[in-house]
């Protein structure tokens, strides 16, 4: 699974950080950071994050 | 349980669509009918008071994506007029009767109208796409806007109008904007934001009456503080009222919303859950442990999405679906300041400012009720919400285990 967040769309709603805190986080500048290739154990949480993002900024591709 | 062959979803907006998506995701393969009274395909409402007003967003930009393979039969432009729980049928206003094996009630809410007298032309509310399009159009011809109600919706309309250079008078009957919802600290912060952006804010004041010209068009309003406001357009932002009327006579309990249990099931008059029915979104009120099991109705986007998923699961797997006890969260954007909250700040009996940087428009407020944390709100500091949310989640989880051990 690869994850891309469109940071131009992202408005810091934080929903992805709540849904998958091991994959998404905020840095000191309040910018979203994330793991582009999360481990298998996180995939369900990442899918939940995709559904929870109000601006649909998270794109996931699964082979 | 016999397999469901037809599920009818009433209300084709965020809750209805997300429930339909979840039904398919959980494996439902039968017929899926979505009934909606608006002529539009589902769209997202939050941008209606934001980018749609001042960034020239088009309706296509707020369409909610319909994932491929949902296989939905759409019944748009026709309201449901009644529900027969015993016969398992939804009645439509065009006379049709849709039998169901399962039903999802998701008719949301509408803007609260002006109480009493008819209002002059030019006094509007915003709930749907058509309302927002009318306001956007009127804003392009208006130099002076009056907004009644400085909640999040009214505040966002003010911000959008200021971005367009329209003069704004904002009238709020509370001592501060959002006082009941988020307390005095946030109220002061938001009031300062409005004033810094040139809004003429009237607090502790109400509209006594609207004034109009000979053609019945709005010219302004008289406020209880004695001010005479001039305005060619007024937006009422007085809150929302749930669309429950069509359920009259169904035997379901309504009380400022459709009353549900913790499994998203609407209750009948005998206080037992109605069979084969679930509900989600702004229509509903249900008991939440953070509120001491009083009924809550957050009226927010994230709850709608999460509750729709929980409702779909409860309909398909009634015996294993967990209780729906989310940590609610909410957002609003005002003049580019990102206001975000978790929990239920309106329940608090105490709140404290943890951090405030007026220059950077940063704020952190924590909310407590009888001691424990029940909510937190930040402005331009979303990162700081994460630990608060985790604490509320822990508190909810510990209550869950406690109730379980009492029952054991
Ligand atoms: C302008 C605006 C801005 C918002 N901004 C934010 C925000 O910034 N952050 C946030 O968290 N939340 C925000 N919200 C709240 C969020 O949009 C709602 O929580 C969400 O729309 C609720 O979805 P719903 O499907 O339950 O109800 P609704 O979106 O109200 O949809 C209900 C649908 O059912 C239809 N309907 C009603 N009666 C019938 C009937 N009898 N038969 C058939 N169909 C019927 C309605 O016409 C409507 O299409 C905002 C809401 C509005 C209106
Ligand atoms: S949920 Fe979406 S908008 Fe919010 S922080 Fe994550 S990517 Fe950004």
Q: Give the model confidence (pLDDT) of B22-55 as tens digits.
A: 999 999 999 999 999 999 999 999 999 999 999 9
The answer to whether B204 and B225 have CB atoms below 8 angstroms apart is yes
Radius of gyration of chain B (CA): 22
Counting the structural domains of chain B, the total is 3
Question: For chain B, what percent of residues have pLDDT higher than 90?
Answer: 94
Chain B nearest C-alpha distance from A15 (Å): 8
C-alpha B318 – ligand 2 centre gap (Å): 32
In CATH, what number is assigned to the domain containing residue B340? Answer: 3.30.390.30
Indicate whether B251 and B103 sit together in one domain. Answer: yes
Indicate whether B218 and B120 sit together in one domain. Answer: yes
Q: What are phi and psi of B126, to 5 degrees?
A: -130, 115
Indicate whether B173 and B73 sit together in one domain. Answer: no
> Is 50 exceeded by the pLDDT of residue B239?
yes
pLDDT digits (tens, 9 = 90+) for A8-62: 999 999 999 999 999 999 998 899 999 999 999 999 999 999 999 999 999 999 8
Q: What is the pTM of this model?
A: 0.95
Indicate whether B102 and B120 sit together in one domain. Answer: no
Indicate whether B144 and B216 sit together in one domain. Answer: yes
User: Which residue, among B336, B334, B332, has the nearest Cα to B345 in the 3D structure?
Assistant: B332
> Is 60 exceeded by the pLDDT of residue B1?
no
Counting the structural domains of chain A, the total is 1
- Choose among B46, B302, B382: nearest Cβ to A26: B382
* Residues of chain B numbered 46-75 and touching chain A (CB < 8 Å): 46, 65
Stretch B207-226: mean pLDDT, rounded?
A: 96
Domain that holds residue B365: 336-398
In CATH, what number is assigned to the domain containing residue A27? Answer: 3.30.70.20
Q: Enumerate the residues of chain A whose CB falls inside 8 A of the CB of residue B329.
A: 14-15, 18
**CB of residue B126 inside a 6 A radius of ligand 1:** yes
Indicate whether B105 and B253 sit together in one domain. Answer: yes
Chain B nearest C-alpha distance from A2 (Å): 20
Inside any domain, residue B330:
no
**CB of residue B282 inside a 6 A radius of ligand 1:** yes
In CATH, what number is assigned to the domain containing residue B274? Answer: 3.50.50.60
Contact A13/B331, CB-based, under 8 Å?
A: yes
Inside any domain, residue B404:
no
**CB neighbour list of residue B267: distance below 8 Å, 6 or more residues apart:** B252, B253, B259, B260, B261, B273, B274
pLDDT category at B117 given cuts 50, 70, 90 is confident
pLDDT category at B328 given cuts 50, 70, 90 is very high
Stretch B90-113: mean pLDDT, rounded?
A: 98
User: Which residue, among B144, B2, B130, B124, has the nearest Cα to B59 in the 3D structure?
Assistant: B130
- Choose among B44, B305, B327: nearest Cβ to A52: B305
Mutation for testing the B interface, residue in A9, A10, A13, A14 having most B CBs under 10 Å: A14
Rounded to whole angstroms, the Cα distance separating A15 from A50 reads 9
> Is 60 exceeded by the pLDDT of residue B406?
no
> Is 60 exceeded by the pLDDT of residue B103?
yes
- Choose among A11, A14, A28: nearest Cβ to B385: A14
**CB neighbour list of residue B365: distance below 8 Å, 6 or more residues apart:** B182, B183, B185, B186, B345, B351, B352, B353, B354, B376, B377, B378
The reported pLDDT for the residue numbered B402 is 53
């Amino acid at each position: 699974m690869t994850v891309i967040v469109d940071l131009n769309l992202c408005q810091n709603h934080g929903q992805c950080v709540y849904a998958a805190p091991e994959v998404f986080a905020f840095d000191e500048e309040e910018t979203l950071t994330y793991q582009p290739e999360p481990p298998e154990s996180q995939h369900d949480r990442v899918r939940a994050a995709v559904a929870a993002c109000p601006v649909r900024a998270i794109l996931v591709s699964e082979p | 349980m016999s397999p469901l062959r037809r599920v009818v979803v009433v209300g084709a907006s965020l809750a209805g669509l997300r429930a339909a998506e979840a039904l398919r995701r959980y494996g439902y393969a039968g017929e899926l009918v979505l009934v909606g009274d608006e002529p539009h395909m589902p769209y997202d409402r939050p941008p209606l008071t934001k980018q749609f007003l001042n960034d020239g967003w088009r309706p296509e930009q707020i369409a909610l994506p319909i994932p491929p393979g949902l296989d939905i039969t759409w019944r748009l432009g026709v309201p449901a007029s009644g529900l027969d729980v015993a016969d398992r049928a939804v009645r439509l206003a065009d006379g049709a009767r849709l039998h169901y094996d399962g039903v999802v009630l998701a008719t949301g809410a509408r803007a609260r109208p002006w109480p009493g007298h008819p209002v002059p032309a030019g006094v509007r509310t915003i709930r749907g796409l058509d309302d927002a399009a009318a306001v956007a159009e009127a804003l392009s011809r208006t130099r002076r806007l009056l907004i009644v109600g400085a909640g999040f919706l009214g505040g966002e309309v003010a911000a959008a109008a200021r971005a367009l250079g329209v003069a704004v008078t904002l009238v709020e009957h509370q001592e501060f904007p959002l006082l009941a919802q988020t307390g005095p600290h946030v109220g002061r912060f938001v009031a300062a934001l409005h004033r810094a952006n040139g809004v003429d804010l009237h607090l502790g004041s109400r509209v006594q009456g609207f004034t109009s010209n000979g053609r019945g068009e709005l010219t302004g309003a008289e406020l209880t503080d004695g001010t005479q406001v001039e305005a060619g357009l007024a937006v009422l932002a007085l809150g929302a009222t749930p669309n429950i009327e069509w359920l009259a006579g169904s035997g379901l309990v309504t009380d400022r919303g459709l009353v549900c249990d913790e499994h998203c099931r609407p209750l009948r008059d005998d206080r037992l859950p109605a069979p084969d029915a679930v509900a989600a979104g702004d229509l509903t009120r249900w008991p939440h442990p953070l509120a001491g099991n009083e009924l809550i109705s957050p009226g927010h986007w994230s709850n709608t999405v999460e509750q729709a998923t929980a409702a779909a699961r409860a309909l398909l797997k009634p015996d294993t679906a967990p209780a729906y006890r989310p940590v609610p969260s909410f957002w609003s954007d005002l003049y580019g300041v990102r206001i975000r909250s978790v929990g239920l700040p309106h329940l608090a009996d105490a709140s404290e400012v943890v951090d405030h940087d007026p220059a950077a428009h940063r704020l952190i407020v924590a909310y407590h009720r009888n001691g424990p944390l029940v909510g937190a709100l930040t402005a331009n500091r979303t990162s700081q919400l994460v630990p608060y949310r985790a604490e509320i989640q822990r508190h909810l989880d510990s209550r869950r285990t406690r109730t379980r051990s009492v029952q054991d």
